[in-house]
Structure 1
Amino acid sequence: MGEPEKHRILMVSDFFYPNFGGVENHIYYLSQCLIKEGHKVVVMTHAYQNRSGVRYMTNGLKVYYVPWKPFLMQNTLPTFFGTLSITRTILIREKISLVHGHQAFSTLCHEALMHARTMGYKVVFTDHSLYGFSDVGSIHMNKVLQFTLADVTQAICVSHTSKENTVLRSGLPPEKVYVIPNAVDTAMFTPAPERLSRDEIVIVVISRLVYRKGADLLVEVIPEVCRLHPNVRFIVGGDGPKRVRLEEMREKHSLQDRVDMLGAVPHAKVRSVLITGHIFLNSSLTEAFCIAILEAASCGLLTVSTRVGGVPEVLPDDMVVLAAPDPTTMVHAITRAIYMLPQIDPQDMHNRMKKLYSWPDVARRTEIVYNRALKCSNPPLLDRLSRYLTCGTWAGKIFCIVMIVNFLLWRLLQLWKPDKDMEVVPDIQLPKSQHEETPFGSRKEESL
């Protein structure tokens, strides 16, 4: 039996380091594991402040910070065709064999997948979020997703609930969508060296303080829990527009000594905050998976969470207490969790998490999707246009026009600067000292 085929993958998303979040962590850790398996991985994202050009990160992970600035919520301004030239340059220079886009809300992801399909590359898309069907924003986003996924080779979702949501929103055949969960770096998230005293119960919240993350629920839940349980204290890490409401709640109920507001917590310090607590509280109103729950469980914390999206799929029943997203039910769930604490062994929970979730396993399962994608046929433009026509009476025709224009622009670029005249980047093995850099710092190579 021959050696498994090694791939050359371009990861694309508006969400990457130095920004921190679930999508950023997923791309980084997946890339690291794929590199260790012998694949070449290159990341394409937009410029972050003064970070522009080409950088190297841990294990030689190459990142193209293309000179597009964020327009709204870390997303670049939609241009349709503006990124075609630079995407083509990266694909040819790095000899990419497959493009992997992340997150439905990423403009750069949608455009790169469109350009890659125009150029005949196989593409894989991973959806990390859940969206509704009725509000204006979701309706527009679902139409964009339908456009992108009409010609996607394979798709990945992080939970079964997320898969159902994506299939309904995009009209993608279910057999083309795979479920591969997120994971956690258990070596980074370890329990406290010594058991914490239970004389005072500490409940930790680390989240963006926005409506979607249930910050308004916290405003009602925290005072009631403090009233019922005099020995409970809260630590709230995170920042956002709803932080003012939490601070007003703390002042109103005189809870300054029982609710610590930490503000934004760097990812490198999340573990040090988690190990000071006994219970982790997640109040999200929608969640495809929630990596924060994995990090808390790996640190040995019992989780209390809203029963939304893919959250019920994440942890076994004895490691999490689920509740409906309303204040009364959540207060009851927290009370139940407090009484469960004597049965919780943080080290045992950590060991179980090591078996349940690992990034190498995620990488191996993603490799299978890559292999299947590369075996798929590559239909001509006319066959592909018929797929876009199914996206709606008017939308389908608009999508077809966009793809035809994109195809013509690509042909013009080929005439102006043929593929054979573009210099291919040599694969360079970085010195060991540069391999050991962390995601929090990177080496600058050149400017684009």
Structure 2
Amino acid sequence: MPYNIAMVSDFFYPQPGGVESHIYQLASKLSDRGHKVIIITHQYDTRSGVRYLTNGLKVYYVPFFVIYRESTMPTVFSFFPIFRQIVIREKIQIVHGHASLSSMCHEAILHARTMGLRTCFTDHSLFGFADAASILTNKLMKFTLSDIDHVICVSHTCKENTVLRASLDPVNVSVIPNAVVAENFKPDPTAASKDHITIVVISRLFYNKGTDLLVAAIPRICEIHPTVHFLIAGNGPKAIDLQQMIEKHMLQDRVELLGPIRHEEVRDVMVRGHIYLHPSLTEAFGTVLVEAASCGLYVVCTEVGGIPEVLPSWMTVFARPEEDDVVSATCRAIAELRRGNVKTEKFHKRVQKMYSWTNVAMRTERVYDNISNAERGTLMDRLKRYYGCGVWAGKLFVICAAIDYLLWWLLEIWYPRTSIDEARDWPKKEVVVKDCKEGSGIRVGRRGE
């Protein structure tokens, strides 16, 4: 059965990143399987309003104020009027939110439940339990996920973390990993230098991505191996630390900073290297590791979060998130490559068999089937779940849900559904699909029939 799906997140193109790529690829594959998918995100610079991507995917860029790292200002209720219009215009049945730190995602799930829609959430991150930011984020997660149909996590480690943070029943949480379009990350043996080993780093330059470890490790690795060069792409507040390190140790001819790059340029940068270094301090999955292996790079990464689940051990060298161990692991990888013990030319075909966005879409589709057949709770059921979220927080959540419900009825009276025009669907190509009836062969029809 085809569904009308709205994927909501603060993080989407033109900003590059793992969450952004996940949403785009999943939406594209679900569209290929006959579903109608739209994206709702916030305005990016001058990119505002309704845009169509090249594959016909419709994106609503809502003009909301961004406060930090592309996250919008949390307002709880101000998003509801425009969200309701989009949902009614597009005849949405399922709202699928992405990313714990997306205010727009949390608000969309609240409003969708108020409107009686099915909801799903995909968590792409790991968070702690002790610092102030994590405590507030976890309480927000508990509010949002206490009244949701199903939760998806990108790794088993991420699932354990999410279940603990939001006090969820593990039965209602599925693990569906990220994937990669292997055809877009083919190796090119002629692109890498034959004279020296090139280590590639492609990452946002933030503390949690291990940039401080990188700053400390690069001079030591360059001192131990005089023929090693670094190629670093990415942008962030820690970029200045890398520049200062290069000047301090006079490594201008051995460390090249490329700055921010577009996702379509990632492969061209990766094939110039032999090793991919990923010193992250926390990671739920790490799609860039799969992309690097697909390009034929030997991967050196920290053994944190869901990273050990991503690639087999013969493709990776693991290190503890410590300076000495990162240096040691990188040196071991260099030695293994020079001895010819690692057959990186086999990595691409192995990754191609391991990860597929079509498989991710099929598994997500089964989640949609399950939540569509589940029983719908009443408003009192929702309020009871919110009330159980804490002595003080529970009462606050009940008030928010009650106000949201009242606002919905006011909008239904003030701006009735009959006055909202339904949007025309993007024309679909004719495809050959198998008929559901046994023994009836195949039929030709439009997607979504």
Aligned to 2:281: 285
The answer to whether 1:33 aligns with 2:29 is: yes
Separation (CA, whole Å) in 1 of partners of 2:227 and 2:42: 47
Maintained 8 Å contact 1:278/1:301 = yes
Separation (CA, whole Å) in 1 of partners of 2:346 and 2:377: 51
Aligned to 1:104: 100
Aligned to 1:377: 375
Aligned to 1:214: 210
Amino acid at match of 2:161: N
Q: Cα offset for 1:332?
A: 1.2
Secondary structure at the aligned position of 2:34 is classed as coil
Q: Give unmatched runs, 5+ long, in structure 1.
A: 433-448
**Which among 200, 203, 214 is matched to residue 204 of structure 1?**
200
Separation (CA, whole Å) in 2 of partners of 1:383 and 1:347: 56
**TM-score, L = length of structure 1:** 0.93
Separation (CA, whole Å) in 2 of partners of 1:402 and 1:356: 43
The answer to whether 1:298 aligns with 2:294 is: yes
The answer to whether 1:45 aligns with 2:41 is: yes
Q: Residues 222-371 of structure 1: matches in 2 within 5 Å?
A: 222-341=218-337, 342-371=340-369
**Which among 10, 24, 27 is matched to residue 6 of structure 2?**
10
Amino acid at match of 1:386: K
The answer to whether 1:429 aligns with 2:401 is: no
Secondary structure at the aligned position of 1:234 is classed as strand
Separation (CA, whole Å) in 2 of partners of 1:339 and 1:276: 19
**What are the superposed Cα offsets for residues 290-348 of structure 1, whole Å, 9 maximum, x if unpaired?**
11111111100000001110000000000011100001111111111112222333431
Secondary structure at the aligned position of 2:135 is classed as helix
The answer to whether 1:154 aligns with 2:150 is: yes
Q: Cα offset for 1:181?
A: 0.5
Q: Cα offset for 1:193?
A: 4.6
Aligned to 2:443: none
Maintained 8 Å contact 1:191/1:346 = no
**Which among 15, 32, 52 is matched to residue 19 of structure 1?**
15
Maintained 8 Å contact 1:212/1:286 = yes
Secondary structure at the aligned position of 2:212 is classed as helix
Separation (CA, whole Å) in 1 of partners of 2:342 and 2:261: 26
Q: Cα offset for 1:249?
A: 1.4
Aligned to 2:72: 76
Decide which moves more: 8-17 or 195-204.
195-204
Q: Cα offset for 1:431?
A: 9.3
Secondary structure at the aligned position of 1:111 is classed as helix
Decide which moves more: 245-254 or 28-37.
245-254
Q: Cα offset for 1:391?
A: 0.6
- Point out which structure has higher relative CO (alpha carbons under 8 A, 6+ apart): 1
**Which among 393, 396, 418 is matched to residue 394 of structure 2?**
396
**What are the superposed Cα offsets for residues 263-286 of structure 1, whole Å, 9 maximum, x if unpaired?**
112222111111110000001100
Separation (CA, whole Å) in 1 of partners of 2:15 and 2:373: 35
Aligned to 1:163: 159
Amino acid at match of 1:309: G
Amino acid at match of 2:198: V
Separation (CA, whole Å) in 1 of partners of 2:370 and 2:217: 47
| 1:195–1:45 Cα change, 3 Å | closer
Q: Cα offset for 1:247?
A: 1.6
Q: Give unmatched runs, 5+ long, in structure 2.
A: 431-449
Secondary structure at the aligned position of 1:19 is classed as coil
Maintained 8 Å contact 2:192/2:198 = no
Q: Cα offset for 1:37?
A: 0.5
Aligned to 2:405: 407
| 1:161–1:199 Cα change, 3 Å | same
Separation (CA, whole Å) in 2 of partners of 1:240 and 1:401: 39
Separation (CA, whole Å) in 1 of partners of 2:347 and 2:281: 26
Amino acid at match of 1:425: A
Maintained 8 Å contact 2:191/2:271 = no
Separation (CA, whole Å) in 1 of partners of 2:59 and 2:191: 41
**TM-score, L = length of structure 2:** 0.93
**Which among 88, 94, 112 is matched to residue 90 of structure 2?**
94
Separation (CA, whole Å) in 1 of partners of 2:239 and 2:78: 37
| 1:361–1:430 Cα change, 3 Å | closer
**What are the superposed Cα offsets for residues 98-138 of structure 1, whole Å, 9 maximum, x if unpaired?**
00000010000000000000011010000001111111111
Maintained 8 Å contact 2:191/2:272 = no
Amino acid at match of 1:356: M
Decide which moves more: 89-98 or 413-422.
413-422
Aligned residues: 428
Amino acid at match of 1:61: L
Aligned to 2:414: 416
Separation (CA, whole Å) in 1 of partners of 2:193 and 2:72: 48
Q: What RMSD, in angstroms, separates the aligned Cα atoms of the two structures?
A: 1.4
**Which among 385, 400, 408 is matched to residue 387 of structure 1?**
385
Q: Cα offset for 1:96?
A: 0.8
Secondary structure at the aligned position of 1:293 is classed as helix
Secondary structure at the aligned position of 2:121 is classed as strand
The answer to whether 1:140 aligns with 2:163 is: no
**Which among 57, 63, 73 is matched to residue 53 of structure 2?**
57
Maintained 8 Å contact 2:193/2:272 = no
**What are the superposed Cα offsets for residues 206-225 of structure 1, whole Å, 9 maximum, x if unpaired?**
11111111111011111111
**What are the superposed Cα offsets for residues 129-182 of structure 1, whole Å, 9 maximum, x if unpaired?**
111111111110100010000001000000000000001000111110000000
Secondary structure at the aligned position of 1:117 is classed as helix
